[in-house]
Amino acid sequence: MTADVEQLEFQAEARQLLDLMIHSVYSNKDAFLRELISNASDALDKLRFEALQNKDWDVDTSDLHIELEVDKQARTLTVRDNGIGMTRDEVVSLIGTLARSGTAELRRKLQEAKDSAAAEELIGQFGVGFYSTFMVADKVELLTRKAGTRGGTRWVSTGDGTYTVESVDDAPQGTAVTLHLKPVDTDDDLHDYTSEWKLRELVKKYSDFISWPIRMQVERRTPGKDGGEDQVTVETQTLNSMKALWARPKDEVSEEEYKEFYKHISHAWDEPLEVITMKGEGTFEYQALLFIPSHAPFDLFHRDAKTGLALYVKRVFVTGDCEQLIPRYLRFVKGVVDAEDVSLNVSRELLQQDRQLTAIRRRLTKKVLSTIKSMQSERPDDYRTFWSQFGAVVKEGLMSDADNRDTLLRICSFASTHSDEQLTTLPEYVERMKEGQDKIYFATGQSREQLLKSPHLEAFKAKGYEVLLLTDPVDELWTGTVIDFDGKPLQSVAKGEVDLDTEEEKKAHEAEREEQQREFGDLLSWLKDVLSDHVKEVRLSTRLTESPACLITDNFGITPALARMYRASGQVVPVGKRILELNPKHPLVKGLQQAHANRGEDDTPLRETAELLYGTALLAEGDIPEDPARFAGLLADRLARTV
Ligand code: ADP
């Protein structure tokens, strides 16, 4: 060892994950090879692309390949590539930490994952990549040199929480990962990763489509002449067919092959819910192979969550996470697009303006949406899985993709007052609309339970009108953009005026309303004055049947929930005053009216009642009064007088 060998600790989450791997009873230990080969293949892709962009770069790209090397005596398996390699800093940051987004989420789940089954699932979901080697090895060595630089780095760990890094003078370009394999029962070829047979099988199964040759030296025995000793010769064989999966006709590719390819490109361990193949001919030639995953990745809602499509040009990898190929709201779609006529030398910036990519993006979007739509009608179980994982992301499209808005509205499903268990689609809602109902009503909030108890819903319940219960944060946003569906306006139950009466009912109620207006008029203007810091108007309600009061936002006003979201993201939002609506039939409101009419000089108790009324209206919608301590004090005083 040279002097600069450094011993470092894995970052806490990485250590926990490693621990999981080492003690894992994960049934599919073979997967480690797929992970190593995937990483090697990515490294070769990156090198070739860099070299194409930078013709003067002094690197050797003449024979890019992956190599498996076995030492049966030492029980080691080495996976070597002559790709891009890593610098010492990169080794530390990429291998020593979980540098990717979603780590916080992983940390939480790791704490929750009590039993081993939960931990196994976690391994599958997070896709542990390089660390999976510790399922089969008790020591792992990595030797790497970044292409175009001198000097390499050796990294060694037994997975016990620390690793060493050391600079070495001489290392071949690229990366070699050597596994010191755990002992196996003799004769157990099934799990012996030094067995030629086993390695061949695994490469065929997991990595056949890798576009780089995966080579191995194999021994060939030929019987010796005249009964003499067998002749042993060593030759190098390529184990994979290297056929790009997306370029093969769909009926020639097995489901297994698609699944493995999905795992390779997505670095995920779940199964795809749907495989989509596409071919564009004519002006814009391209082939695409897309997957809809069955599990949302950890970082789906992370600000820098990556999109999932890789761009190839005539089989040559150009870039992963190609933003231009798919809108943000479909960022969970994984896959490959291979275009014919994009220039390979084009920079990332120019890619953004590429007309061909824009056209492809439009078609991919339509295709993905129509696939989800068919899934919805033909495979409802899969659709439900899909929606539970990705629904909240898809809804982002309602704001950003006006062209596909109608299709998007049709594939969305929502909780509603119609059923406790099942979600509803908008067409189903419209189908159930009551005679005389001309709007689609919805409520937004934090949970179904809270919404169901909200005073805003009372009139709708009484009338038997269905209300959509929208509880994703994104619902606050898109409902401000989408005006209608199928010609029916979308209306928040907490906004504007609500009048569910038919024309006849209106006539019948007219006299009563006028009477109420006369009766309560003074109280309303007095309250408006007393509560002027909080509300801009006080009026009688047609939406309340049980509660005394509720708060309403103007039709185009910002709801408190939305204001909170904006503030949380650092934006300044003016405090919009709302409207206080009173239920003229409620004993509290009636009593207040009486007390107001008979009030004397000192109206302090009455003012306090007004404050309490306003505070309870906030509480009823799940909010808290502006000054909770004062509210609690007022309430306690009041209660003290009634016990
Ligand atoms: P993932 O591949 O899912 O990102 P890994 O833990 O497998 O996670 O690898 C972490 C990172 O280390 C990779 O994203 C890559 O940047 C780098 N890396 C891993 N293996 C290699 C390799 N053979 N050559 C170059 N870089 C590599």
pLDDT in tens, 296-324: 887 888 877 888 899 988 888 888 888 88
Q: At what angle do helices 604-620 and 587-597 cross, to 10 degrees?
A: 160
Q: What is the CATH number of the domain that holds 575?
A: 1.20.120.790
Distance CA 53, CA 528 (A): 69
- Regarding whether 223 and 122 lie in a shared domain, the answer is yes
Long-range Cβ contact pairs of 315-318 (< 8 A, separation 24 or more): 315/211, 315/244, 315/247, 316/48, 316/49, 316/52, 316/344, 317/45, 317/46, 317/48, 317/49, 317/211, 318/49, 318/342, 318/344, 318/351
Higher confidence at residue 39 or residue 220? 39
Q: What is the spatial distance between Cα 26 and Cα 611, in angstroms, rounded to a whole number?
A: 60
Q: Can you give the pLDDT at residue 25?
A: 63
What average pLDDT score do residues 607-616 get? Answer: 94
Task: Examine the domain organization and report whether 460 and 529 are in the same domain.
Answer: no
The reply to whether 325 and 429 lie within a common domain is no
DSSP-derived pairing of the beta strands 334-339 and 419-424: unpaired
- Strand-strand pairing, 419-424 and 484-485: unpaired
Residue 43 CB less than 6 A away from ligand 1: yes
- DSSP reduced 3-state for 123: helix
Give the model's confidence band at 29: pLDDT under 50 very low, under 70 low, under 90 confident, else very high: confident
Q: From the CA of 37, how far away is ligand 1's center (Å)?
A: 10
At residue 518 the predicted structure's pLDDT band, cuts being 50, 70 and 90, is: very high
Are 487 and 514 contained in the same domain? no
Q: Is 37 in the pocket of ligand 1 (CB under 6 A)?
A: no
The best mutation among 84, 125, 130 to test binding of ligand 1, ranked by most ligand atoms within 8 Å of the C-beta, falls on 130
Ligand 1 atom with minimal separation from the 98 CA: 6
Is residue 399 included in any domain, yes or no?
no
45 lines ligand 1 (CB under 6 A): no
Task: Give the pTM.
Answer: 0.79
Same-domain pairing of 223 and 264:
no
Residue 376's pLDDT is 96
Nearest CA to ligand 1 atom 1: 129
Whether residue 1 has pLDDT greater than 60: no
Domain count, the chain: 4
Q: Residue 407 CA to chain centroid, in angstroms?
A: 21
Structural domain harbouring 476: 413-492
Q: Confirm or reject: Cβ of 86 under 6 Å from ligand 1.
A: yes
Domain presence at residue 402: no
Whether 517 and 483 map to the same domain: the answer is: no
Q: From atom 8 of ligand 1, which residue's Cα is the shortest distance away?
A: 129
Scored b (16 or more CB within 10 A) or e, 120-137 reads: bebbbbbbbbbbbbbbbb
Per mean pLDDT, which range of 25-39, 81-95, 208-222 is the poorest?
25-39
- Is residue 189 pLDDT above 70, yes or no? no
**CB of 96 sitting under 6 A from ligand 1:** no
Does the Cβ of 35 fall within 6 Å of ligand 1? Answer: yes
Q: Which domain-ending residue is among 238, 272, 299?
A: 238
Atom number in ligand 1 closest to CA 267 = 3
* pLDDT exceeds 70 at position 188: no
How far is residue 471's CA from residue 482's CA, in Å, rounded to a whole number? 16
Nearest one of 567, 406, 413, 563 to 488, comparing CA atoms: 406
Q: What is the mean pLDDT of the segment spanning 323-331? A: 94
* Beta bridge partners of residue 214, listed in sequence order: 66
Pocket lining: 67 vs ligand 1, CB cutoff 6 Å: no
Per-residue pLDDT tens digits for 32-74: 998 899 999 999 999 998 898 888 888 989 999 999 999 999 9
- Residue 404, in any domain of the structure: no
- Both 40 and 184 in one domain: the answer is yes
pLDDT digits (tens, 9 = 90+) for 108-162: 777 776 666 666 667 666 667 888 899 899 999 999 999 999 999 999 999 888 9
For residue 394, being part of any structural domain is answered with: no
Q: Is residue 449 part of a domain?
A: yes
253 and 232 in a common domain: no
Q: Tell me what pLDDT residue 345 has.
A: 61
Helix (H) or strand (E) holding 2: none
Q: How many residues does the chain have?
A: 643
Annotated binding-site residues for ATP read 35, 39, 81, 86, 101-102, 125-130, 175, 348
The SS3 assignment for 508 reads helix
pLDDT at 537: 94
* Interatomic CA distance for residues 151 and 170, integer angstroms: 6
Ligand 1 atom 11, closest CA: 94
Q: Which of 94, 131, 212 to mutate to test the pocket of ligand 1 (most atoms within 8 A of CB)?
A: 94
pLDDT for 347 equals 63
Give 45 Cα–ligand 1 centroid separation in angstroms. Answer: 13
Please give the pLDDT value at position 186: 62
Any atom of ligand 1 within 6 Å of the Cβ of 64: no
Q: Are residues 168 and 27 in the same domain?
A: yes
* Residues 351-370 pLDDT 10s: 666 788 889 999 999 999 99
Model pLDDT, residue 161: 86
pLDDT at 542: 86
